Amino acid sequence: MKKTDNQMLVIFGASGDLTARKLIPALFNLYIAKQLPANFVVLGASRSNLSDEAFRRKVLYDSPYLKNKIEHLKDNYLKGFSDMFFYEDLGDDYTQSYEGLAARIGELNGKYGTGSNYMFYLSTPPSLYEPIAKNLADAGLSSQEEGWKRLIVEKPFGYSLETAKNLNQGLQKYFRESQIYRIDHYLGKETVQNLLVTRFSNSIFEPLWNRNYIHHVEITNAESVGVEKRGGYYDKSGALRDMFQNHLLQIVSLVVMEPPIGDEPEEIRNEKVKALKSLRVMKDEASLFENTIRAQYVASEINGEKVKGYREEDGVDPNSTTETYAAVKFFVDNWRWRDVPFYVRTAKRMPTKVTEVIIHFKTPHHQIFKDSGVSSKDNKLIIRIQPDEGILIKFGVKVPGQGFKVERANLDFYYSSLAETYVMEAYERLLLDAMQGDATLYARADEVEAAWEFVDPILDYWKNSKDVRMYGYAAGVWGPENADELIDDLGFWRNPGQNLADDPGYCVIC
């Protein structure tokens, strides 16, 4: 096990939802698993006026996100955890001097022996990232003369290529790139990391992982929920910025990348950047028209319950043209992937929540069993990111009886079947990595910019072109009617069910 230095975690935006929903439960799991260092302090900082005690009450004792976990714990065990928490009121806004904050950090550091190692977690609106970084630097809190200093920033990282570049430059004025950790919680998912292992620790997949054997690649990310209480944020973002630019392009980079030299963070990140840079950027209107589809969910009934359309959601402009469904077809311009189409879609209010990668292999070069129907039963490798995490291979078997009729059979593996079943939550894994200074699962500046480079023209086209359409789909179905048109002659998307081995067309409304 890697060593975790004594340290202090300073959370900006500590009274917000993300802190309570994700960060504190992740820290709690690390506490239970005895993964926190001997000397560890969490200092919450935000604009709410709270005492240490009130903060502990809010994010621990009264937290709905910890309720089940702490119910049966002995009081002193929980107290051991809560004693690590402190709070500092930043006053009216995040941009005023951090002298008071620096003094408090110094005091806690002296008292609890955190070795002057500080990790600053920015769980605030992105517009505050640069001002906070500047204030920290002005207060001497970015200097690594004594102890290390790290800065974790949440998504969204930028709103466009230009804003992402500005943000990178802005942060790099005050912190070195090696101190900056850009979080993408999909990289914290075991099954996303397993893409690397599936590819590079087996000798059976990699020889086939190229244009000679792969016909096309499909990635689906579907959510059954709508925009929930985040209408205000989402309406300014949309599916492409919210999911595609970050989470889905991260998955794409892991599917596309070349084998790294080893497992060092920079070796893996170098290959991911190269992969993202090789995506063919669509710049002309004709390509953008043909290869992208956007849509919005409209009111419907799911399981007898009325569901609002996107434009009726709280915080959403009634004339909004923000997409809740985005599907993009693209190519990767390199030796390995030339001419292999990639189809990637993401959407809210789909029939079920599912994320999976499907590698469709080409039919055999020479078909011996001509009347077997094999050509419509291509081999597939399905990597299920969530839920029912696992891997499924679809392959042809002979139907018993005369002749050579072929049917498709399943060869499947489920994570739940492993003896060691404890799977760390994404935030738990990512926090621990950052605490140990491992940036493998964090996005580097050039990686984020390469992703924006691809997405920017699509966003511009959707915003400005007169030809672009906004389709509608009833909440609870697999997107707009014409979504299959993107798939060319291949027919249709694989519309997965809740379980890995469900066949397309199977539809769970949950």
Residues that bind ligand BG6 (CB under 6 A): 223, 242-243
Distance CA 222, CA 241 (A): 15
CA 91 from chain center: how many Å?
Answer: 32
**DSSP 8-state symbol, 473:** E
Measured from the CB atom, is 77 or 233 closer to ligand BG6? 233
Distance CA 276, CA 297 (A): 30
Residue 55 contacts by C-beta under 8 Å, 6 or more apart in sequence?
A: 14, 15, 44, 85, 86, 87
Distance CA 463, CA 345 (A): 19
Q: Is 365 a catalytic residue?
A: no
Write down the least CB distance from residue 243 to ligand BG6, Å. Answer: 6
Distance CA 299, CA 475 (A): 6
Instruction: Please identify the residue of the shown chain whose CB is closest to the bound ligand BG6.
Output: 242
The angle at the Cα of 89, spanning 88 to 91, to the nearest 5 degrees, equals 150
Write down the least CB distance from residue 189 to ligand BG6, Å. Answer: 7
Sign of the four-CA dihedral 330, 336, 340, 345: negative
**DSSP 8-state symbol, 247:** I
Residue 465 backbone dihedrals phi, psi, to 5 degrees? -75, 145
3-class DSSP string for 391-423: EEEEEEEECCCCCCCEEEEEEEEEHHHCCCCCC
Pick the closest to residue 458 from 172, 248, 231 (CA basis). Answer: 248
Q: What is the DSSP string of 318-340?
A: TT----SEEEEEE-B-STTTTT-
Pick the closest to residue 85 from 119, 60, 113 (CA basis). Answer: 60
Is residue 447 within 8 A of residue 269, CB to CB? The reply is yes
Measured from the CB atom, is 114 or 237 closer to ligand BG6? 237
Write down the least CB distance from residue 75 to ligand BG6, Å. Answer: 33
The angle at the Cα of 410, spanning 380 to 247, to the nearest 5 degrees, equals 50
Residue 393 backbone dihedrals phi, psi, to 5 degrees? -115, 130
Write down the least CB distance from residue 348 to ligand BG6, Å. Answer: 7
Write down the least CB distance from residue 359 to ligand BG6, Å. Answer: 21
* Among 185, 247, 360, 365, the one annotated catalytic: 247
Is residue 340 within 8 A of residue 215, CB to CB? The reply is yes
Measured from the CB atom, is 17 or 407 closer to ligand BG6? 17
Write down the least CB distance from residue 247 to ligand BG6, Å. Answer: 6
Report the interhelical angle of 249-256 vs 445-464 (nearest 10°). Answer: 120
Is residue 482 within 8 A of residue 295, CB to CB? The reply is no
Write down the least CB distance from residue 346 to ligand BG6, Å. Answer: 9
Write down the least CB distance from residue 155 to ligand BG6, Å. Answer: 6
Q: Which residues are catalytic?
A: 247
